[in-house]
Amino acid sequence: MGLFTYFVLGLIPLTALWIGLLITGLSILLTPSYAPKRSREISNLMNKLFINITLFLEALRISSYNLFKTHNDEVFIYLSREEIREIPKEAEKQFITYVYGAPLIRLVSPINRDLVKDFTEPCVAIDHILTEYLDIADRVECYDEEDKIMLKIFRPLISSSFKLERSLGGLYGLIAGSVYALLRGDVEISYVETSTDFILIGMRIKK
Amino acid sequence: MISKDHFSNTLLIIMITLTTWAFWSIGEHRLDVYISMFVLEYLIIKMMLRPRRIFIDILQIGLLIIFLIFVSIRIYEVLIK
C-alpha cells in the first residue's frame, strides 16, 4: 500500500498527506474527551444551589408559572402556582408576597445588563453566554413566531432537576429567559423538553 | 449526535484529503502550498466551529508561525527577483 501510494502519488503529495494526518492527529489530541473543567465546576456549584431552590419550591408547591421581568438593569424571576397576570408593586421589593392567597416568589437572575450590553439579538447573546462565556453547550438555534420563541440548545453539559425545569426551565431556561427579558421585554417559559443531545425551551413574550 | 469538537476533526481530515487529491491531480509539487492550504483549512474550521481545546491551542499558534514563514519566503523570493 505504501509503495503503491508512493509510486502513484509521488513523494511530495504523499509527504503532504502525512503532514495533514499529523495536523489532524494533533487536533484530535488537543480535543478534550470530557466536559471542560470550568463547566464541571459550574455544574457542581449550580446543582447544589438548585437542590436548595428545588426543595424550597417543593415546600411551597410552586412549579407551574413563571415570569421574567426587568427592573432597571436586573432581571427578576417571579414564580407562582397561579398564572401571573400582573406583578403587584410590593412584589418588586419583597422576596415573597401573596397574590389572591397564592405565594409569589421573586428570585434575582444572575444574568444582568452588563453581560448582554454588546448584543441586540437575544439569540446571539444566549449563544455567546452558553458557548463562549460559560462553555456549557455546543450551539443554540432560535425560532421566532410573533410572541412565541423556541430555543434549541445542542449538547447541554449541565442537567437540572425535573422540578426546577418545570418551574423556570433549569439553568438554560433561566439564562434564556433572562436574556429575552433584558432585550425583548417580559417573558414566560412555557415549555421545556430535555434530551441527552438537546434542550428545547418554549417561551412566550408577554405584552 | 456528533459534537462540534469531533465534527471539526472529521471535517478537517476530509478537507485535507480532498486538498491533497485536488493539488495532486493538477500536478502541484510544492510542499509549502499543500501545508499553507492545510493551515488555512484548520484556521477556518477553528473560526467557524470553535471546537474546544484542552488548554490553549498550541497547534494553531504553531501552524500560524509555519504559515507566516512560508509567506515570508515567497515574498522574499518575489523581492529578490
* pLDDT, tens digit, 9 for 90 and up, residues A107-126: 888 888 888 888 989 999 99
Specify the pLDDT at position A23.
95
Q: Do B8 and A27 touch (CB under 8 A)?
A: yes
**Are A27 and B59 a contacting pair, CB within 8 Å?**
yes
Taking the CA of residue A5 and the nearest CA in chain B, the distance in Å comes to 12
Judged by DSSP in three states, A69 sits in strand
Q: For chain B, which residues lie within 8 Å of any Cβ of chain A, measuring from their own Cβ?
A: 1, 3-6, 8-9, 12-13, 16-17, 19-20, 23-24, 28-31, 34-35, 38, 42, 50-54, 57-59, 63
Domain hosting B8: range is 4-80
Specify the pLDDT at position A89.
76
Task: Give Cβ neighbours of residue A170 (< 8 Å, ≥ 6 apart).
Answer: A50, A158, A159, A160, A161, A164, A192, A194, A199
Q: Do A23 and B63 touch (CB under 8 A)?
A: yes
Q: Is the pTM of this model over 0.90?
A: no
**Are B24 and A13 a contacting pair, CB within 8 Å?**
yes
Q: Return the residue matching grid coordinates 417559559.
A: A189
Specify the pLDDT at position B32.
92
Specify the pLDDT at position B1.
62
Q: Amino acid letter at A144?
A: D
Reply yes or no on whether the pLDDT at A167 is more than 80: no
Q: Which three cell numbers stand for residue A189?
A: 417559559
Reply yes or no on whether the pLDDT at A201 is more than 80: yes
Summarised one tens digit per residue, pLDDT across range A51-70 is 787 788 777 777 678 889 89
Q: Which chain B residue has the Cα nearest residue A20?
A: B16
Number of domains into which chain B is organized: 1
Among B9, B23, B34, the residue with its CB nearest the CB of A24 is B9
CB pairs under 8 A between A and B: 84
What ipTM did this prediction achieve?
0.93
Among B19, B23, B52, the residue with its CB nearest the CB of A32 is B52
